[in-house]
């Protein structure tokens, strides 16, 4: 039987779709988001209901049955372009339930390999931005960090900066997805209207001098005789440069 | 002199110093925490990773080391930061996430003790007044008192002494004011205290830290006549006797061209530096011993081949090894198999019998490994090649000049 699952294209939707497949013991031929082509001759189409709370449970359950790493791999894949690997994620989920924490040992398995690969790409970007995120101090004391990541990594990245810059008031701001996370010294929360915090709030007076010192440092440590711009661009792709004071 | 100008002078003066690792420490303060795995914050146009604010406190120096740009005989612009300036820069840069922390070294001004005291004060102010939890690496000044070094170690994540040159003869010739003992003594002291403090903290979480990221050292290669064998034996010795975390090599860059005690080189020996790092990596991560890589009759590394491939070709009679049954130690010795892929092979082969397509997914570099392994008794090409043809094949694939430039020096 040719079975087609339709979900709303969101990560929560996909998690619910996976839960449906497990619960109904079904093996869909395709799991498609809106606008994606379905099967030519589907025997049945199942419409998935998206439910945020249920999606959270799917992750918690997986973490309990498989492992923390496996749950993190799944979440990282969901932060990336997952719309062509739904079936692999479902297969990985099944394997995790079946094999428990051993699932990630199957390095030679094509599904596990694909999931690891995708998770690694997202993990790499998260690690990159631990270094590349730049905060600038605004007049009211807020440290504002605009950035444009390829993947939706803001929530995975925020705890790192909470641990690191815990005594300052800051906002991370994904300019591509218009999402922001704020740390106010006590709480970490999603800010739905980041523009409000920036209104009538230009950069602080000392900000320019600090950026200038950083630029001076940066150009002084370059060894002229060893210029290698290709290598620089490979380590730090050009699309990230826009928000780096040392490179604009 | 304004702070902007000081920055230009003192960052420039520090840039040839090689090590920049910010890893190995796990600390938390009000501002900042260190990442155990290290982190790059930017890359310079020469492709090096910037992770620490690496500057000199001062480039004024009373010594006259032949290879150094800051030696007292040179006519270069001089500058000295105040303790407060360095503290402020570190905190402000850190708050903006420009850096992981501070790497502070200095020329010797007034006296070794005076210099060391200033360095120590920077670290102390950062930790005690600013509650700074980022990474701090201080250079110990040769000739400074052990008491100051001890205090520095309580605030810094890493304290290191540069060994500078690979032998005491060379040291006497090129850095006559630095006594070998002034270098070895603090090194031994730091190694000892680091071990003690670590053991104490195992028993009691509240015991004071001492340079938790351990210590490292650095030497210049190519300025003096020592062979690679001499250098690697020395490194092995340093790892074994002083619990060093890393030995850094820095290719000699001819700066003082009017200096007759130094050789004239057309360019810095970057490839040699690269091969030494590869060999050093084998000592630390792959359980090789220095004598396996080099001998009295062949005291220098082959510039054309990486040292692991070189070893495998000299010991070609032990190959091929069977991937599905070989010990971990032997998997590690195969060119193209890294620590990670060796571990993955172990866990993956518990689940299924491995073939070449599996190995590829696992991350084995087959174009190098294929000549040294079999899967279920078969070579990937079907036949066993002679060591000469393997050497030829590997040479074609190894482009050292491109690699040498990727060195992460900073
Ligand atoms: S003591 Fe250090 S700064 Fe002074 S000349 Fe020697 S190497 Fe240079």
- Of A125, A142, A165, which marks where a domain is finished? A125
Residue B253 has pLDDT above 90, yes or no: no
Centre of ligand 1 from the C-alpha of residue B213, in Å: 25
Rounded CA-CA distance A105/A238 in Å is 36
Which positions in chain B touch A134 (Cβ < 8 Å)? Answer: 96-98
B158 found inside a domain: yes
Q: Residue range A231-237: average pLDDT? A: 83
Question: A178 and A68 in one domain?
Answer: no
Residue B240 has pLDDT above 50, yes or no: yes
- Of A70, A90, A125, which marks where a domain is finished? A125
Q: In this predicted structure, what is the pLDDT of residue B410?
A: 31
Over residues A74-100, the pLDDT tens digits come to 999 999 888 889 999 999 999 999 999
Question: B314 and B235 in one domain?
Answer: no
Q: In this predicted structure, what is the pLDDT of residue B405?
A: 41
Question: B26 and B124 in one domain?
Answer: yes
Counting Cα atoms < 13 Å in the Cβ hemisphere of B390 gives: 25
Going by alpha carbons, the residue nearest to atom 1 of ligand 1 is B63
Question: B312 and B260 in one domain?
Answer: no
Q: Which helix (H) or strand (E) holds A79?
A: helix A68-79
Over residues B37-75, the pLDDT tens digits come to 568 999 888 777 889 999 999 999 999 998 888 889 889
Chain B nearest-CA distance from A32, in A, is: 27
Residue A129 has pLDDT above 60, yes or no: yes
Look over chain A and give the mean of its residue pLDDT values, rounded to a whole number: 92
Q: In this predicted structure, what is the pLDDT of residue B399?
A: 57
- What percent of chain B stands above pLDDT 70? 91
Q: Which three-class secondary structure state does DSSP give residue A27?
A: coil
Atom of ligand 1 nearest to the CA of B106: 3
Residues with CB under 6 A from ligand 1: B 61, 63, 65, 68, 70-71, 107-108, 175
Rounded CA-CA distance B323/B361 in Å is 14
Tell me which residue of B162, B167, B196, B166 sits closest to B182, measured CA to CA: B162
Rounded CA-CA distance B133/B118 in Å is 20
Q: In this predicted structure, what is the pLDDT of residue B393?
A: 86
Q: In this predicted structure, what is the pLDDT of residue B36?
A: 52
Peptide bond into A183 cis (omega under 30): no
Counting Cα atoms < 13 Å in the Cβ hemisphere of B43 gives: 23
Rounded CA-CA distance B165/B221 in Å is 7
**Cβ–Cβ of A214/B3 closer than 8 Å?**
no
Instruction: Check residue B23 and give left, alpha or beta (phi > 0: left; psi -120 to 50: alpha).
Output: beta
Q: In this predicted structure, what is the pLDDT of residue B269?
A: 86
Centre of ligand 1 from the C-alpha of residue B68, in Å: 6
What is the model's pTM?
0.86
**Cβ–Cβ of B347/A210 closer than 8 Å?**
no
Centre of ligand 1 from the C-alpha of residue B216, in Å: 18
The most distant pair of C-alpha atoms in chain A lies apart, rounded to whole Å, by 68
Label residue B27 by pLDDT band (50, 70, 90). low
Question: B247 and B118 in one domain?
Answer: yes
Tell me which residue of B47, B2, B126, B50 sits closest to A212, measured CA to CA: B2
CA–CA distances in Å: residue B317 to residues A152, B239, B320: 52, 31, 8
Asked if B321 and B372 count as a contact pair (C-beta separation under 8 A), the reply is yes
Domain of A204 in residue numbering reads as: 133-247
Q: In this predicted structure, what is the pLDDT of residue B29?
A: 57
B60 found inside a domain: yes
**Cβ–Cβ of B348/A236 closer than 8 Å?**
no
Label residue A107 by pLDDT band (50, 70, 90). confident
- What percent of chain B stands above pLDDT 90? 52
Question: A121 and A82 in one domain?
Answer: yes
Residue B112 has pLDDT above 90, yes or no: yes
Question: B122 and B202 in one domain?
Answer: yes
Q: Which one of A110, A165, A244 has the shortest CB-CB distance to B31?
A: A165
Rounded CA-CA distance B116/B135 in Å is 18
Q: In this predicted structure, what is the pLDDT of residue B407?
A: 41
B22 found inside a domain: yes
Atom of ligand 1 nearest to the CA of B175: 6
Domain of B146 in residue numbering reads as: 3-268
Question: A142 and A120 in one domain?
Answer: no
Counting Cα atoms < 13 Å in the Cβ hemisphere of B59 gives: 23
Question: A116 and A137 in one domain?
Answer: no
For chain A, how far is it from start to end, CA to CA, in angstroms?
A: 57
Over residues B139-148, the pLDDT tens digits come to 999 999 999 9
Q: Residue range B191-195: average pLDDT? A: 90
**Cβ–Cβ of B45/A229 closer than 8 Å?**
yes
Which positions in chain B touch A167 (Cβ < 8 Å)? Answer: 30-31, 131
Question: B84 and B29 in one domain?
Answer: yes
Q: In this predicted structure, what is the pLDDT of residue A37?
A: 84
Q: What is the ipTM of this complex?
A: 0.88
DSSP β-bridge partners for residue B374:
B322
Question: B222 and B365 in one domain?
Answer: no
Q: In this predicted structure, what is the pLDDT of residue B408?
A: 37
Q: In this predicted structure, what is the pLDDT of residue B21?
A: 46
Rounded CA-CA distance B231/A115 in Å is 44
Q: In this predicted structure, what is the pLDDT of residue B398?
A: 62
Tell me which residue of A140, A131, A96 sits closest to A246, measured CA to CA: A131
Q: In this predicted structure, what is the pLDDT of residue B94?
A: 97
Question: A185 and A96 in one domain?
Answer: no
Q: Which one of B35, B42, B49 has the shortest CB-CB distance to A246?
A: B42
Q: Which one of B7, B49, B406 has the shortest CB-CB distance to A217?
A: B7
Question: B212 and B354 in one domain?
Answer: no
Question: A103 and A157 in one domain?
Answer: no
Over residues B358-410, the pLDDT tens digits come to 999 899 999 999 999 999 998 988 888 888 888 888 887 665 544 444 343 33
Which positions in chain B touch A231 (Cβ < 8 Å)? Answer: 43, 46-47, 405-406
Chain A nearest-CA distance from B340, in A, is: 11
Rounded CA-CA distance B315/A161 in Å is 50
Q: In this predicted structure, what is the pLDDT of residue B250?
A: 86
Q: Which three-class secondary structure state does DSSP give residue B399?
A: coil
CA–CA distances in Å: residue A244 to residues A124, A211, A228, A232, A238: 18, 10, 19, 14, 10
Question: A68 and A11 in one domain?
Answer: yes
Q: Is B402 exposed, middle or buried (0-12, 13-18, 19+ CB in 10 A)?
A: exposed
DSSP per-residue letters across B272-331:
HHHHHHHHHHHHHHS---HHHH--SSS-S--TTS-HHHHHHHHTGGG--EETTT--HHHH
Residue B244 C-alpha from the chain's centroid: 10
- State the total domains in chain A: 2
Question: A175 and A197 in one domain?
Answer: yes
Rounded CA-CA distance B21/B32 in Å is 17
Rounded CA-CA distance B126/B129 in Å is 6
Residue B122 sits in a domain whose CATH number is 3.20.20.70
Question: B337 and B207 in one domain?
Answer: no
Which positions in chain B touch A109 (Cβ < 8 Å)? Answer: 351
Question: B104 and B18 in one domain?
Answer: yes
Label residue B258 by pLDDT band (50, 70, 90). confident
B325 found inside a domain: yes
Over residues B76-102, the pLDDT tens digits come to 999 999 999 999 999 999 999 999 999
B280 found inside a domain: no
Choose which residue among B16, B68, B111, B143 to substitute to test ligand 1 binding: the one with the highest number of ligand atoms within 8 A of its C-beta: B68
Question: A183 and A98 in one domain?
Answer: no
Question: B311 and B389 in one domain?
Answer: yes
Rounded CA-CA distance B305/B225 in Å is 22
Question: A121 and A7 in one domain?
Answer: yes
Least confident piece of the model among B151-160, B324-333, B386-395 = B386-395
Q: Which one of A136, A216, A226 has the shortest CB-CB distance to B4?
A: A216
Residue B206 has pLDDT above 90, yes or no: no
**Cβ–Cβ of A165/B95 closer than 8 Å?**
yes
Which positions in chain B touch A108 (Cβ < 8 Å)? Answer: 348, 351-352, 354, 358-359, 361-362
Question: A121 and A137 in one domain?
Answer: no
- State the total domains in chain B: 2
Question: A94 and A206 in one domain?
Answer: no
Q: Which one of A110, A113, A136 has the shortest CB-CB distance to B96?
A: A136
Q: Residue range B246-266: average pLDDT? A: 83
Look over chain B and give the mean of its residue pLDDT values, rounded to a whole number: 87
Question: B144 and B39 in one domain?
Answer: yes
Residue A218 has pLDDT above 50, yes or no: yes
Count other Cβ atoms within 10 Å, centred on residue B86.
Answer: 25
Residue B290 has pLDDT above 70, yes or no: yes
């Amino acid at each position: 039987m040719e079975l087609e699952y339709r979900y709303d294209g969101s990560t929560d939707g996909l998690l619910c779709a996976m839960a449906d497949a497990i619960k109904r013991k079904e093996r869909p031929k395709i799991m498609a988001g809106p606008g994606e082509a379905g099967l030519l001759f589907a025997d049945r189409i199942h419409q998935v209901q998206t439910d945020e709370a249920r999606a959270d449970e799917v992750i918690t359950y997986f973490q309990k049955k498989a492992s923390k790493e496996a749950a993190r791999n799944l979440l990282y894949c969901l932060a990336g372009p997952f719309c062509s690997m739904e079936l692999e994620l479902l297969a990985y989920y099944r394997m995790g339930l079946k094999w428990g924490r051993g699932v990630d040992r199957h390095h030679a398995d094509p599904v596990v390999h694909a999931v690891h690969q995708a998770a690694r790409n997202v993990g790499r970007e998260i690690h990159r931005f631990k270094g590349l995120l730049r905060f600038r101090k605004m007049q009211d004391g807020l440290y504002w960090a605009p950035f444009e990541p390829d993947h939706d990594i803001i929530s995975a990245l925020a705890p790192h900066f909470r641990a690191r810059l815990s005594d300052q008031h800051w906002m991370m701001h994904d300019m591509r997805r218009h999402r922001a996370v704020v740390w106010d010294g006590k709480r970490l929360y999603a800010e739905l209207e980041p523009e409000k915090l920036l209104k009538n709030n230009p950069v602080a007076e000392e900000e320019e001098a600090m950026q200038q010192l950083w630029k001076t440092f940066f150009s002084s440590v370059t060894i002229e005789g060893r210029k290698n711009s290709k290598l620089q661009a490979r380590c730090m792709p050009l699309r990230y440069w826009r928000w780096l004071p040392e490179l604009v | 002199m304004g702070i902007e100008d000081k920055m230009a002078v003192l960052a420039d003066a520090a840039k040839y110093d090689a090590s920049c690792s910010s890893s190995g420490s796990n600390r938390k303060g009000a501002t900042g925490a260190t990442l155990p795995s290290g982190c790059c914050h930017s890359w310079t146009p020469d492709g090096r990773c910037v992770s620490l604010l690496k500057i000199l406190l001062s480039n004024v120096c009373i010594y006259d080391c032949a290879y150094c740009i800051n030696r007292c005989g040179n006519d270069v612009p001089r500058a000295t930061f105040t303790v407060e300036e360095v503290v402020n820069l570190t905190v402000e840069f850190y708050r903006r996430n420009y850096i992981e922390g501070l790497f502070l070294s200095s020329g010797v001004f007034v006296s070794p003790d005076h210099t060391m005291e200033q360095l120590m004060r920077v670290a102390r102010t950062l930790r005690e007044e600013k509650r700074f939890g980022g990474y701090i690496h201080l250079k110990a000044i040769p000739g400074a008192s052990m008491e100051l070094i001890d205090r520095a170690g309580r605030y810094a994540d890493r304290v290191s002494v540069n060994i500078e040159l690979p032998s005491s003869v060379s040291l006497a010739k090129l850095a006559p004011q630095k006594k070998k003992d002034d270098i070895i003594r603090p090194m031994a002291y730091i190694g000892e205290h680091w071990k003690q403090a670590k053991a104490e903290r195992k028993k009691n979480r509240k015991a004071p830290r001492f340079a938790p990221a351990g210590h490292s050292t650095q030497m210049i290669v190519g300025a003096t006549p020592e062979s690679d064998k001499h250098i690697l034996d020395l490194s092995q010795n340093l790892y074994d006797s002083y619990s060093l975390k890393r030995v850094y090599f820095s290719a000699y860059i001819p700066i003082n061209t009017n200096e007759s005690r130094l050789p004239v080189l057309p360019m810095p020996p970057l490839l040699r530096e690269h091969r030494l790092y590869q060999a050093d990596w084998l000592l630390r991560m792959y359980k090789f011993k220095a004598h396996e890589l080099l001998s009295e009759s062949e005291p220098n590394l082959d510039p054309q081949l990486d040292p692991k491939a070189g070893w495998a070709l000299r010991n070609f009679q032990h190959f091929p090894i069977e991937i599905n049954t070989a010990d971990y130690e032997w998997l590690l010795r195969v060119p193209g198999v890294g620590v990670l892929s060796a571990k993955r092979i172990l866990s993956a082969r518990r689940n299924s019998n491995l073939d070449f397509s599996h190995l590829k997914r696992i991350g084995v570099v087959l174009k190098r490994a294929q000549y040294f392994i079999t899967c279920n008794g078969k070579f990937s090409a079907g036949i066993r090649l002679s060591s000469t043809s393997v050497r030829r094949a590997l040479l074609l694939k190894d482009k050292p000049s491109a690699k040498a430039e990727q060195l992460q020096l900073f």
